[in-house]
Amino acid sequence: ADRAAKLPSITTMVSSVAREEGARALFSGLTPALLGSAMSWGGFFYFYERFKPTGAGAGAHALASMQAGAAMVFLTNPVWLVKTRLQLQRGGAGAGAQRYSGVVDAFSKIVRDEGWLALYRGLLPALLLTSHGAVQFVVYEELKRIRKPSGAGQSEALAYGAVSKLAAATATYPYQVVKTRVQQRFPAADTKFAGDLAGGEVARTMRCVADTWAHEGLRGFFKGCWPNALRVMPSAALTFWTYEIVVNAAATGDVT
């Protein structure tokens, strides 16, 4: 019955959240999301440029991307965990007394109640998600090889960034689902998934995979895939466009 259940549409979910929790709930986790994005993209490009060999092929680009991604996972996982916790807590009348009131409160309560290692929940699927960057940069570099962004505007980078992000987001989305479910706060009365297991990170991750498959089947690993794609494609397009403009300006000496 769980597998056959119809998934709600994007518009249904948006209206439901706004109706039950208020329009403000649609922006839950915005502060850590902005902080995490700034740290992740800035650090990722820094490490990627240093790990990437000059004139290398797709395999080297993929490896450099995964190395850069792994470095950023260890630096930013606590930020993304707090974002997930803030987004998943319910804001209606039934919310418990232990609700997080903000980013600082979430950090302090997680460390106090669960220990500082809890900030690294979801680390295993997050490391597996470094394949996301590998797929993205391989697709992006191949598109650049077919037609290199040209001119001061580097406009092709907008399309390349969006397409490569869509490919990567779709291919690696199951890891994202598992990571989010492992990071959520337990106990949760409305969930079928076990989170607090004595075996640690590997046990939690494998149990989440097994539970998702048992209750929802393959489709469960792609829940929220299209809203996620609509969220990340525009930002990726703008990020890669900005990146190409900066690199082009640095190469030509035109920094005005």
- Whether residue 201 is predicted with pLDDT greater than 80 in this model: the reply is no
What confidence score (pLDDT) does residue 147 get? 86
What confidence score (pLDDT) does residue 166 get? 94
What confidence score (pLDDT) does residue 12 get? 76
- Cα separation of 129 and 179, whole Å? 9
pTM: 0.69
What confidence score (pLDDT) does residue 153 get? 64
Give yes or no for a contact between 43 and 75, defined as CB atoms under 8 angstroms apart: yes
Q: Which of 53-62, 91-100, 176-185 has the lowest mean pLDDT?
A: 91-100
- Rounded mean pLDDT, 44-72: 83
- Cα separation of 14 and 46, whole Å? 36
What confidence score (pLDDT) does residue 33 get? 87
- Rounded mean pLDDT, 59-72: 86
- Whether residue 37 is predicted with pLDDT greater than 80 in this model: the reply is yes
**Average pLDDT value over all residues in the chain:** 81
- Whether residue 189 is predicted with pLDDT greater than 50 in this model: the reply is no
- Whether residue 92 is predicted with pLDDT greater than 50 in this model: the reply is no
- Whether residue 90 is predicted with pLDDT greater than 80 in this model: the reply is no
What confidence score (pLDDT) does residue 152 get? 59
What is the band of 3 on the pLDDT scale with cuts at 50, 70, 90? very low
- Cα separation of 236 and 166, whole Å? 9
What is the band of 73 on the pLDDT scale with cuts at 50, 70, 90? very high
The first and second tokens of residue 60, run together, are 């080297």
What confidence score (pLDDT) does residue 213 get? 92
Neighbours of 235 (CB within 10 A): 14
What is the band of 247 on the pLDDT scale with cuts at 50, 70, 90? confident
- Whether residue 39 is predicted with pLDDT greater than 70 in this model: the reply is yes
- Rounded mean pLDDT, 86-92: 73
- Cα separation of 32 and 105, whole Å? 12
What is the band of 66 on the pLDDT scale with cuts at 50, 70, 90? confident
Residue pLDDT, tens place only, 116-137: 888 998 899 999 988 888 888 8
- Rounded mean pLDDT, 211-218: 91
Q: Measuring CA to CA, which residue among 157, 125, 131 is closest to residue 247? A: 157
Residue pLDDT, tens place only, 93-109: 344 447 888 899 999 99
